């Protein structure tokens, strides 16, 4: 039993039910490519996974972040009724059944390979796990090169061996607590793939404009209204410049929306009128 999340039902499944593409199966020799970007394709490999649940978790994360090519080196049996499919969510319909069993040699020979590990070397006296990059920096560097890349994850208990890591082109490590940097395999993959999502996702479920800031006149109107309010409450005149500056900085940090600015201004106006009556 994998020690990570429990199998989950698809509570968030979109109402229109996005059916998987009709992709070719693992035997066709065709590599499913769901994330062709200028940066090239990014595949995910798992070496010698012990628990099918972790393979399912990784397949699900891949689908969440726009990856489709899953390569398995010495995988456990993936029973369609078992944990892998139970943990995979909607990836049970495409990423997981399209996973290709392969060899470590195939990864090394056909991809720009990035090994992931919790354990890094301190300095240049050993190059097996040094230099290393963080997932975020890896995303930046891969954005500029057109290379078919494979991010390689290791065994739950012992990770990738030194011999394996020595054959891979780059090393990537998630910064974590010094006394316990080894994440659960599925969670490590989720973090790495989240950081690499810029290479794969043209768009996310979020609207483009996340924060609709009030226009400048409305924001400046808040300053004027605050001024009138200070006068109405008879704030000591010598303290008003400081209070005004405080308010300007406060509003400046908040970038209020149009509705926030209008509502706040209206409330200050009402308070000022009541005090003046």
Site membership for ligand SAH, residue 185 (CB under 6 A): yes
| CB nearer to ligand SAH: pick between 154 and 256 | 154
Site membership for ligand SAH, residue 5 (CB under 6 A): no
Among positions 154, 168, 229, 261, the unique one binding ligand SAH when judged by CB under 6 A: 154
Site membership for ligand SAH, residue 34 (CB under 6 A): no
Give dist(CA 22, CA 87) in Å, integer: 22
Site membership for ligand SAH, residue 136 (CB under 6 A): no
End-to-end CA separation in angstroms for the chain? 72
Site membership for ligand SAH, residue 43 (CB under 6 A): no
How many chain residues are in contact with ligand SAH, going by CB under 6 A?
18
CA distances (Å), origin 103, targets 21, 150, 210: 27, 13, 44
Among positions 108, 118, 136, 228, the unique one binding ligand SAH when judged by CB under 6 A: 118
Site membership for ligand SAH, residue 182 (CB under 6 A): yes
Site membership for ligand SAH, residue 117 (CB under 6 A): yes
Q: Find the part of the chain contacting ligand SAH (CB under 6 A) among 30-38, 64-72, 152-160, 199-207.
A: 152-160
String of DSSP letters for the chain: --SSPPP---TT--TT--PPP----GGG-PPP-S--BTTB-EEEEEES-S-HHHHHHHHHHHHHTT---EEEESPPP--TTSHHHHHSGGGGGTTTTT-EEE-HHHHHHHSEEEEE-S---SSTT--TT-S-B-HHHHHHHHHT----EEEEE-BTTTBS-HHHHHHSSEEE-----TT-----HHHHHHHHHHHGGGGT-S--SS-S----BPPHHHHHHHHHHHHHHHHHTT--GGGHHHHHHHHHHHHHHH--BHHHHHHHHHHHHHHHHHHH-
| CB nearer to ligand SAH: pick between 9 and 180 | 180
Site membership for ligand SAH, residue 119 (CB under 6 A): yes
Site membership for ligand SAH, residue 4 (CB under 6 A): no
Site membership for ligand SAH, residue 76 (CB under 6 A): no
| CB nearer to ligand SAH: pick between 27 and 123 | 123
Among positions 8, 109, 137, 176, the unique one binding ligand SAH when judged by CB under 6 A: 176
Site membership for ligand SAH, residue 159 (CB under 6 A): yes
Q: Minimum distance between the CB of residue 132 and ligand SAH, rounded to whole angstroms?
A: 9
Q: Find the part of the chain contacting ligand SAH (CB under 6 A) among 31-39, 80-88, 175-183, 249-257.
A: 175-183
Binding site for ligand SAH (CB under 6 A): 116-119, 153-154, 156, 158-160, 173-174, 176, 181-183, 185, 188
């Amino acid at each position: 039993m994998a020690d990570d999340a429990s199998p989950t039902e698809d509570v968030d499944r979109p109402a229109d039910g996005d059916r998987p593409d009709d992709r070719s199966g693992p035997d066709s020799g065709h590599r499913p490519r769901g994330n062709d970007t200028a940066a090239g394709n990014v595949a995910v490999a798992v070496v010698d996974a012990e628990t099918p649940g972790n393979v399912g978790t990784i397949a699900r994360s891949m689908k969440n972040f726009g990856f489709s090519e899953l390569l398995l080196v010495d995988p456990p049996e993936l029973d369609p009724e078992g944990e892998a499919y139970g943990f995979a969510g909607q990836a049970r319909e495409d990423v997981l059944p399209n996973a290709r069993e392969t060899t470590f040699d195939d990864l090394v020979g056909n991809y720009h390979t990035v090994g992931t590990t919790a354990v890094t070397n301190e300095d240049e006296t050993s190059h097996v796990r040094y230099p290393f990059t963080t997932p975020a920096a890896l995303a930046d560097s891969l954005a500029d090169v057109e290379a078919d890349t494979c991010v390689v994850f290791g065994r739950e208990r012992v990770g990738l061996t030194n011999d394996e890591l020595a054959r891979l082109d780059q090393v990537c490590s998630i910064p974590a607590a010094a006394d316990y940097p080894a994440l659960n395999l599925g969670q490590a993959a989720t973090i790495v793939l989240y950081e690499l999502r810029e290479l794969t996702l043209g768009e996310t479920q979020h609207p483009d404009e996340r924060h609709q800031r009030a226009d400048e006149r409305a924001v400046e109107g808040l300053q004027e209204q605050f001024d009138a309010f200070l006068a109405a409450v008879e704030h000591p005149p010598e303290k008003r410049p400081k209070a005004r500056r405080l308010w300007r900085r406060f509003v400046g940090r908040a970038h209020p929306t149009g509705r926030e600015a209008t509502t706040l201004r209206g409330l200050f106006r009402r308070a000022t009128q009541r005090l003046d009556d």
